[in-house]
Amino acid sequence: GESVGLHLPTLSVQEGDNSIINCAYSNSASDYFIWYKQESGKGPQFIIDIRSNMDKRQGQRVTVLLNKTVKHLSLQIAATQPGDSAVYFCAESRGYQKVTFGIGTKLQVIP
């Protein structure tokens, strides 16, 4: 299938290790942030979101951290599995209007 990961930053992790994917967002007025996962040949899939009045949110095996001071988001994936291999995008929104995507990071899980 086609790759959406050409020319993207790549993070390689060993299966079972934790992964941390970082993102710098651009608009200081953004108040809602989302992480998406995109597998080859598919559209982006929602992973987790966080509002600007929070600095941490946890889901199943995933945690998002928000640092508004430096406009930085991170996605932590615990016990990374081969099925986690994909391109990960952070996205931002202001007033819950249009969603603006970042560049993306390709996660490669080494079995």
Partner 1 sequence: ETGVTQSPTHLIKTRGQQVTLRCSSQSGHNTVSWYQQALGQGPQFIFQYYREEENGRGNFPPRFSGLQFPNYSSELNVNALELDDSALYLCASSPGQGANYGYTFGSGTRLTVV
The residues that touch partner 1, with contacts defined as CB under 8 A, are 2-8, 32, 34, 41-46, 49, 89, 91, 93, 95-104
Residues in Cβ contact with 85 at an 8 Å cutoff, skipping those fewer than 6 apart: 39, 107, 108, 109
Using the minimum distance from each CB to partner 1, give the nearer residue, 9 or 16: 9
Smallest gap from residue 109 Cβ to partner 1 (A): 20
Q: How far is the CB of 101 from partner 1 (least distance, A)?
A: 4
Q: Given the complex with partner 1, which of 79 and 103 has the nearer CB atom?
A: 103
Q: Which is nearer to partner 1, 101 or 110 (CB)?
A: 101
| Nearest Cα residue to 13 out of 81, 90, 83 | 81
CA distance 47 to 11: 18
- Using alpha carbons only, give the angle 31, 53, 50 rounded to the nearest 5 degrees: 65
Task: Provide the minimum distance between the beta carbon of 81 and partner 1 in the complex, in angstroms, as a whole number.
Answer: 22
